[in-house]
Structure 1
Amino acid sequence: MALEKTWRWFGRKDSVTLADLKQMGVEGVVTALHHIPPGDVWPLAEIRKVKDEIESYGMRWSVVESLPVSEGIKTCSADRPQLIANYVESLRNLSEAGVDTVCYNFMPVLDWARTNLQYKDARGGESMLFDYPTFAAFDLFLLKREGAEKDYSAEMVKKAKQVVQTLSEEQKEELAHNIIVVTQAFIHGVLGDDSTNYIERFRAYLNTYKTIDSTKLREHLVRFLQDVVPVAEALGINLCIHPDDPPFPLLGLPRIASTSADFRWILQQVDSPANGVTFCTGSLSGSRNNDLVAMAKELAPRIHFIHLRNTAHLEDGSFYESGHLTGTVDMVAVVKILLEEQIRRKRTGRKDFRMPFRPDHGIKLLDDYNRTANPGYPLIGRLKGLAEIDGLQVGIERMLEA
């Protein structure tokens, strides 16, 4: 039995409709209540409205991506008790409506980072690039973060200076706005889509982490897990933390979900089947140090949700999104491990044997240039990835049956 084919849908404002998804053979929808501000309770009536709409097209609401973890929970601010109470109530409402998988992340301030949202690949499609010297240029000379120079080698600072000298004022503005606002607004970024004084406001958020290193952020994550995992387990909900993207420190912020050791530690803190992982091959492959095949084998029993895409590495820690099958990730080996895990779950009687995957991001192709979409989420590019991975699954399933 193949992994469940799902698709990230951004609600009624999405240019891809539920009717489109049904035609494409999508089985499950990955979405959220995008109109509810982070930290507020998700009302049961609103959850049911979205769920009923999805089910009217013959699909199910497979995964919530995401129920946002507010900055106040990550920093343990004074309003943390109320934020936790709201999170728990949202979980109860999701369970009442029959939604059983919730993806979340614990990345501070910046959920993901790319420096070029229109990177041309060798075939002429548009991908997304993280260029390390360009990001350093943003950090050092546009954001002008205090103490930033300590985070880069002398060689990287030199390259960053060279980069910033080639940028026009308009290009500098575009780079900063893309990193801080454009890539974050549609996923409940800290600034939303408000560009007013966005650099100054972003600096203020960074400053809240001046006294929070990786050890302290881990403590805050454990407190969160201790508060919500027992509730989720009692409700029959699987929680799954998303990896850091990219999986290495940026802007002086701590990273605690980037490596095998990180996830091993997270799963040990509250040893419950409800405390799981979103296995994102795209995010994790941003680091050359991560062995995705080994990670899939180790984490398989606690993987509750899967993002599949690939990455190609350049110099200086730079990388670009290279589609779904081609890149540094051995997608054949990874998908085989995940299919074997799903078979194992079903044979051992696990009720949560279904393993939903979605084609994560995609290369902008063909008619995508005539459509509107959030960065990384073109229709044709993702549909190509869905078809490629689905075909890969059929071949592996046939091999496993032999």
Structure 2
Amino acid sequence: MKETWRWFGPNDPVSLEDIRQAGASGVVTALHEYGPGEVWPVQDIKARKALIEDAGLTWDVCESIWMSDEIKLKGSDAKTEVAAWIKTMQNLAKAGVKTICYNFMPLLDWTRTDLTYPICGQGKALRFDMIDFIIYDVHVLGRDGAAADHPADLVFEAEIRWRAMSKEDQSALENNIIAGLPGSAKGFGRQDLVDGIKNFSPLSHSDLQANLASFLAEVVPVAEGLGVQLAIHPDDPPFPLFGLPRCVSTESDLAFLLEAQQSASNGLTFCTGSLGARPDNDLPAMARRFGEHIHFAHLRNVQLEDDGSFYEAAALGGSTDMIDVLDALVATEKEGVDRVIPMRPDHGHLLDFEQNQETNPGYSYIGRLKGLGELRGAIAVLQKNYDLNSAR
């Protein structure tokens, strides 16, 4: 597997030289200055690629081409937005960037309720607290019918906690949920969220799947002609939010989208943290079933709790058997011809050493370096064992 690193461009507090010193050889990035529906000029892509290469690295994955809500709402009927997305893909291919991560999450991108959750002896982590999310949905946002979308016992617990929260606590919670996390296309104000929920609420799970299939029908044939690998990212978290469906959350969801366009260009970003936030997802089995379609891997772990909450755990800790997942990924890579899966360590803990330094939530340098070190060692052992067993 090829070690890569998420980089948010020239304004990222983690520099390209820092990435080289971490031992990674590849970069995962995007032109974050452009918004959904805007075409990335080829000259700007080439300039960013040259900057990366001048630092002795390679640009291996584009994460992500922003996708407008219009595409998610209408599929290929959002003709202008789809055309702009395809044009950016073509420009990336012209510059030699041919693996593209994207997502199809309606309205909100990846979501957390707490950005500095303390873990004893491990620093601070990102957390999705189900009770806090219900507080926001039911009591702060006041969405019609919200209480009925959550288990009654959790709604009761949320009301008790909400009554003890200050206005400042409620405001901080709202900011964490809707202001936009690193890599998100945009942040929201409360009215933006209300309006967005209204737009998406008529869609069912199957409607959203149909819109994804319609989008894929437009872009996959173009990607094939360009030699581009599309790698959809799972929903994060992988369950409905604000009563809205999500359609890249389960094994059956992944099977559906791969069946919708049977092409080597139609593939997956296998994010162990996103998929691992559902206890009914068997990640090692999914990695083995979909291995040939995995074009990119996000490697992180989460600790699940009984009420649906989770927090970012150590790479080899948490609720997912990461060693078994890595074994499956190594096997699918070894079984391919000239196949190398780019991977990146994801969502590191914020350790005390970096507490007073500028960091993006989830993207501290030392926290990710710690995760990369753990993953690097595990992968090296698994690769050696695979080669020894194959030689027997």
TM category, shorter: over 0.9
Deviations 1:222-252, CA, capped at 9 Å, x for gaps: 1100000000011000001100111111111
Aligned counterpart, 1:304: 295
Q: Does 2:357 match 1:371?
A: yes
What is the one-letter code of the residue matched to 2:309? Answer: S
Q: Does 2:314 match 1:323?
A: yes
Aligned counterpart, 1:235: 226
Q: Does 2:165 match 1:167?
A: yes
Aligned counterpart, 2:186: 189
Aligned counterpart, 1:272: 263
Aligned counterpart, 2:154: 156
What is the one-letter code of the residue matched to 2:4? Answer: T
Aligned counterpart, 1:250: 241
Q: Secondary structure at the match of 1:54?
A: helix
Quote the Cα distance in structure 2 between the aligned partners of 1:384 and 1:124.
11
Q: Secondary structure at the match of 2:101?
A: strand
Question: For the Cα contact (< 8 Å) 2:333–2:340, is it kept in 1?
Answer: yes
Quote the Cα distance in structure 2 between the aligned partners of 1:304 and 1:201.
34
Unaligned runs of 5+ in 1: 192-197
Match for residue 140 of structure 1 among 135, 138, 141: 138
Q: Does 2:212 match 1:214?
A: no
Aligned counterpart, 2:89: 91
Question: For the Cα contact (< 8 Å) 1:72–1:78, is it kept in 2?
Answer: no
Question: For the Cα contact (< 8 Å) 2:351–2:367, is it kept in 1?
Answer: yes
Q: Secondary structure at the match of 1:208?
A: helix
Deviations 1:48-79, CA, capped at 9 Å, x for gaps: 00101111112110000001111111112898
Question: For the Cα contact (< 8 Å) 2:101–2:230, is it kept in 1?
Answer: yes
Quote the Cα distance in structure 2 between the aligned partners of 1:91 and 1:21.
25
Quote the Cα distance in structure 2 between the aligned partners of 1:302 and 1:393.
20
Displacement of 1:171 in angstroms is: 0.4
Question: For the Cα contact (< 8 Å) 1:366–1:380, is it kept in 2?
Answer: no
Quote the Cα distance in structure 2 between the aligned partners of 1:382 and 1:78.
37
* TM-score between both structures, scaled by the size of structure 2: 0.96
Quote the Cα distance in structure 2 between the aligned partners of 1:201 and 1:67.
22
Q: Secondary structure at the match of 2:240?
A: coil
Q: Does 2:253 match 1:262?
A: yes
Tell which deviates more after alignment, 254-263 or 144-153: 144-153
Displacement of 1:189 in angstroms is: 2.3
Aligned residues: 388
Aligned counterpart, 2:11: 13
Quote the Cα distance in structure 2 between the aligned partners of 1:87 and 1:240.
14
What is the one-letter code of the residue matched to 2:169? Answer: Q
Tell which deviates more after alignment, 318-327 or 7-16: 318-327
Displacement of 1:98 in angstroms is: 0.5
Deviations 1:172-230, CA, capped at 9 Å, x for gaps: 0110111000426x521253xxxxxx112211111111211111111110110000000
Q: Does 2:346 match 1:360?
A: yes
Question: For the Cα contact (< 8 Å) 1:260–1:290, is it kept in 2?
Answer: yes
Quote the Cα distance in structure 2 between the aligned partners of 1:230 and 1:374.
36
Question: For the Cα contact (< 8 Å) 1:308–1:359, is it kept in 2?
Answer: yes
Q: Secondary structure at the match of 2:59?
A: strand
What is the one-letter code of the residue matched to 1:187? Answer: S
Quote the Cα distance in structure 2 between the aligned partners of 1:393 and 1:153.
40
Question: For the Cα contact (< 8 Å) 2:113–2:173, is it kept in 1?
Answer: yes
Aligned counterpart, 1:345: 336
Quote the Cα distance in structure 2 between the aligned partners of 1:124 and 1:272.
42
**Sequence identity percentage:** 42
Unaligned runs of 5+ in 2: none
Aligned counterpart, 1:111: 109
Quote the Cα distance in structure 2 between the aligned partners of 1:200 and 1:259.
30
Question: For the Cα contact (< 8 Å) 2:76–2:214, is it kept in 1?
Answer: no
Q: Does 2:33 match 1:35?
A: yes
Q: After the TM superposition, list the runs of 4 or more consecutive aligned residues in structure 1 that deviate by more than 2 angstroms.
A: none
Match for residue 325 of structure 2 among 334, 353, 362: 334
Aligned counterpart, 1:194: none
Aligned counterpart, 2:80: 82
What is the one-letter code of the residue matched to 2:164? Answer: T
Quote the Cα distance in structure 2 between the aligned partners of 1:201 and 1:248.
21
Q: Does 2:369 match 1:383?
A: yes
Quote the Cα distance in structure 2 between the aligned partners of 1:164 and 1:189.
27
Quote the Cα distance in structure 2 between the aligned partners of 1:154 and 1:140.
12
Q: Does 2:388 match 1:397?
A: no
* TM-score between both structures, scaled by the size of structure 1: 0.94
Over 3 Å counting, the alpha-carbon distance change for 1:310 and 1:77 in structure 2 is closer
What is the one-letter code of the residue matched to 1:372? Answer: E
Quote the Cα distance in structure 2 between the aligned partners of 1:112 and 1:323.
19
Quote the Cα distance in structure 2 between the aligned partners of 1:78 and 1:282.
30
Q: Secondary structure at the match of 1:202?
A: helix
What is the one-letter code of the residue matched to 1:292? Answer: L
Deviations 1:283-322, CA, capped at 9 Å, x for gaps: 1111111111111111100000000011111231111111
Deviations 1:313-350, CA, capped at 9 Å, x for gaps: 1231111111211011111111111111111112xxx5
Question: For the Cα contact (< 8 Å) 2:75–2:211, is it kept in 1?
Answer: no
